Amino acid sequence: MELLLIGAGAIGVALAAGLADEGHHMTILAREDTRRAIDSDGVHRTGLFAEKHIPAGVVTTVSDYAALPQGAFDFVLISAKTMANEEISDKLNEHRGCLKEGGKLVLFQNGWGNDAWYRRYFSEEQVCSARVITGFRRETRSHSVVTVHTQPLLLGSLYGCDPTPLEPLAQAIDRSGIPCETSDTVAEALWAKMLYNCTLNPLGAILHVPYGALCEKDETVAIMNDLIDEEFAVMHAAGYRTFWETPEEYREVFYGKLVPDTYAHCSSTLQDLEGKRKTEIATLTGCILSLAKEHGVPVPVSTVIYRMIRGLEAQF
């Protein structure tokens, strides 16, 4: 396969190393400093699963959409921060000729609603989504570490389209060592991830602790329980569903499996704040707040969490 990656962060570098190791040609569109690092050092994945070390010159890098070849790519993997979606979707539309006929975009991103930016220009069949609940950390611009894992990556459509065309990509990621499969319930899976992320991600960043530490104090467990209640109320009011009907059902899995499996992980929001970067809170808790306002659902705890992250961002 010919693959284009946009977003050479922790997830992107890990995917690129694994897929290149499987023999697929990977082109990475990245900022100039990241492009230079990859050109000189290659891409590397360590941590959980099989290590992958791809030497310099195997992966192609570009820093300009105009440099993308015409009719080249079977899949565009988008793992950039969600704040970049407007720019990326605009640029991909301007250079849509880089896709092969039937080529697809696959969003490996946090949050809910990212697809809307791409659906302005591309069809339901072309815009696909991935549920990623594996943890990654970027050691350097060319090296990603897989830190925790609890469930396979899921690839599919939010619009009921047949996921079969995504099988070659899912199988390649799976063979590279990161469990991955296609799914016809990716919308439900993404809402499951929203519950997980919106409960753990910002709270861990505010308190500067890994996920597991949040379960060790009654006070933080109480906050998470309140967040889960609010998230379920918003999800149901907005007409969405996931794999559990009630907050009580979800909490059994959350405390019994999901948090233990990712006990030592520090959230992407915490990593962003430590790096003095803007976070993805708008597509996480911000999405909960927007839907809550639209449907008249009170979310006082989520509101405080959101404001605290914005307050921390405002310090730099």
| Nearest alpha-carbon partner for 18 in 66, 63, 79, 64 | 79
The amino acid present at 218, given as its one-letter code, is: D
Q: Which secondary structure element, helix H or strand E, spans residue 188, and what is its range?
A: helix 186-207
Q: Active-site residues: which are they?
A: 193
Per DSSP, 254 falls in state I
Contacts 24+ apart (CB under 8 A), 60-64: 60/25, 60/26, 60/27, 60/28, 61/27, 61/28, 61/29, 61/30, 61/35, 62/27, 62/28, 62/29, 62/30, 62/35, 63/29, 63/30, 63/31, 63/32, 63/35
**Both structure tokens of 91:** 């640029």
| Nearest alpha-carbon partner for 141 in 57, 48, 43, 59 | 43
Sign of CA dihedral 146, 150, 155, 156: negative
Cα–Cα distance for residue pair 105/157, rounded to 1 Å: 11
Q: Which residues have C-beta within 8 Å of that of residue 161, sequence separation ≥ 6?
A: 124, 125, 128
| Nearest alpha-carbon partner for 201 in 276, 265, 250 | 265
| Nearest alpha-carbon partner for 152 in 167, 172, 174 | 174
**Both structure tokens of 153:** 């990556």
